[in-house]
Structure 1
Amino acid sequence: MINTIIFDFNGTMFFDGRIQKESWGEFLKEEFTRIMTESEFEKHVAGRNNRDTLEYYSGRKISDEELEVLTNKKEQIYRDMCLSRPKEFHLVDGLTDFLSVCLKNGIKLNIATASERPNVEFFFKHLDLEKWFDVESVSLNDGTLPGKPAPDMFLRAIENIDSSPYNSAIFEDSVSGIQAANSANVGKVILVEDPDLDVVNMPSNLRADEAIQNYFRVSETLMKRK
């Protein structure tokens, strides 16, 4: 029986694919004079932590100090874009009701995200996430865990709320995130698709038990382990 749900955030709870692409594109052009391709976004940006992405584009290892400077610069561009687009900056349709139903039925909730703490606090502040989640339990990019496709961030999110992979469902939108969910050996893996973006080219060897584009009709089977 599924009694725990773990969400990736970006692209799963908030459809920010266009904002992510535009903010990364603007940053990479300014910082590295690089033009990001769609293939690079899927392989080296979506679902990845900033160190992985920045070392790919710089072509070298970067220090912790440089990582902090570059990350702050990129994420400020991203946050400014979010606030300038209120019609886009909101939780996915149907999600708030779904989260409330989960809590009413005793389903544990948590987030596992490649975002750093400043972005997580930004989301909590502007999207009222404290109604459903404890920010101190969130598994985020604090530099202590490998990024996706390693399963560690999901496993920490599950452990932080005293649950187990067997009883957990993971909601993800990226290839690297689905890989991580598969490696975590959780009970359910749900692919969330942004209807305004191209369908993600998901490898056939990865398991996704269901695909959704909103949370209005999330089936009851998500609460049950097949």
Structure 2
Amino acid sequence: METLHKLNILTHIVCGSAALLLGLVALVVNKGKRVHKRVGNVFLVCLAVVILTGLFGVFVFRRNAFLLVITALSGYYGFSGYRILQTKSNQPQLLDVVIALASLGTVFYFVLYMSEIGLIWAPVIIYSTVGALLAIIAYDLLRYFIPKASYRRMWLYEHIYKMIGAFTALLAAFSGTVFNAYHPYSQILPSAIGVSLQVGFILYYVRKQKRASGNVKLPGVSAFANKPLTP
């Protein structure tokens, strides 16, 4: 059993490290292009392995249950960010609702677990992580009530926010584990960087879409403008 546990940890570390490197590549390459899509797909595969090995660590090997919340947060961000790219709408889908409710269940499990053993990490880390997961689940369940006309372009911003969120959650978990002596700052700093990236990329694409909309000309306007005025 101990050998299997070590193998699980090794797989978790290797795939987690690969996901972080792939996430960095996805951030810097041209968005929507072939390389970005391929790197993003491999990132999601590595993320899935990280989630699976994390769940094994919690439920099979009975390790730190707080890893369950971090795993659920990064996994849910990644899943939801991928799904919104596929659907590009807020039409309710059974799979999305089931995964959202399952992720919500992990929060309740963790809260019950913490009520028995107490806070084992800094409260600011625990509360912010649980709060982030609850907030994104609540949004995903409430977005179905947003009028479709208003939601038309929001899918892109959702994709940006959620995929960067998945990367940030992995980075915070890595930093918090490796630099354990510097809690809670070793996890707060990656989270702050992630929020800055989310805001920066979303603002960039909002402005880009506004510029694109401003450059659209109505049919016949140019031709009319070039005609001389006659009394």
So what's the TM-score if we normalise by structure 2?
0.26
Higher strand share: 1
Higher-Rg structure is: 2
Higher relative CO (Cα under 8 Å, sequence separation at least 6) belongs to 1
So what's the TM-score if we normalise by structure 1?
0.26
